Structure 1
């Protein structure tokens, strides 16, 4: 395989990985969601009411942010009776981000080899 083919494959891989990470990037772009993640790092699991108590925002606003975090795979939910509990769940997101970094480093390394 030529270096141009390898470079093209790496660029394609980085593009695909960026797409895989888009939801995580969008979720992490908001300061409120960042703070929710920080709150969840302090506790194993919290329900919406407990999370709302940590903020000066309405329950619907916090619920909206939790929904985005859940869709991005950064929190998981567990229903207990009538309550939903949220837990930080970042392992898959970290794997995708690490893969993006690894592929990007390969591209950077291939640039240095070509110089």
Structure 2
């Protein structure tokens, strides 16, 4: 693996690590199927506590795969994976060039 591929891989690590958790995967699936959702709506569909869901949403936001919009007193979470997908594509392209 070339130096550029390693650098891109390191850039992708926060995304990959975040997506490795089953609870966060469940949250992403819910958002994918339902669109925008509040913490309470997500909590109502999972077996996690509200603080646990909030924690997972924070990690997903930090990894850049979820965004939040404030509407009045409600915070709506939604998928925002364009940048993450672009970065992962960049990694795959680099790996293909270096390793195949």
Task: Please give the root-mean-square deviation of Cα atoms over the aligned residues, in Å.
Answer: 1.0
Tell me, in whole angstroms, the C-alpha distance in 2 between the residues paired with 1:46 and 1:66.
11
Aligned residues: 100
Tell me, in whole angstroms, the C-alpha distance in 2 between the residues paired with 1:59 and 1:44.
19
Q: Which has the larger radius of gyration?
A: 1
Q: How does 1:46-57 map to 2 (within 5 A)?
A: 46-57=37-48
| Matching residue of 1:14 | 5
| Matching residue of 2:98 | 107
Matched, 1:76 2:67: yes
Q: Which runs of 4+ in 1 moved over 3 A?
A: none
Among 18, 32, 44, the alignment partner of 2:35 is: 44
